Amino acid sequence: EIVMTQSPVTLSVTPGERATLSCRASQSINNNLAWYQQKPGQAPRLLIYGASTRATGIPARFSGSGSGTEFTLTISSLQSEDFAVYYCQQYHNWPPLTFGGGTKVEIK
């Protein structure tokens, strides 16, 4: 099973600032990585797949990078609606598909 580790667990950011979230895989997953955003009481929403491709309707301030074992989600200028929990997920080796533990982006 591929273990996904996200850091930090909590990220405090001032609106308008950049946020950088990290995700590490326990073995190479090439670029088979997705990022999701989840707000309280809602289902997750796909942001990024293929490590760097934005999903339909996702604003350009969200960008993904990385390959192999190290990945980054960057939110270039945080808006109020971006405060949420973010999960990475690998789909390189399965079963099982595995998620990281999440990073909560909160208002500083």
Partner 1 sequence: QVQLVQSGAEVKKPGSSVKVSCMASGGPFNKYSFNWVRQAPGQGLEWMGAIIPIFGTPNYAQEFQGRVTITADDSTRTTFMELSRLRFEDTAMYYCARGPVLPVGVVLVPKYYFDYWGQGTLVTVSS
Closer CB to partner 1, 13 or 97, in the complex: 97
Considering only residues 94, 104, 106, 108, which one is a binding residue for partner 1 as defined by CB under 8 A?
94
Determine which helix (DSSP H) or strand (DSSP E) holds 75, and give its type and residue range. strand 70-75
* Beta strand pairing call for 103-107 and 10-13: parallel
Which position among 34, 73, 84, 105 is part of the footprint of partner 1 (CB under 8 A)? 34
Tell me: does residue 62 bind partner 1 (CB under 8 A): no
Contact flag: residue 83 with partner 1 (CB under 8 A) = no
Site for partner 1 in 3-32 (CB under 8 A): 32
Phi, psi of 80, rounded to the nearest 5 degrees:
-60, -35
Helix boundaries (H) for 32-80:
none
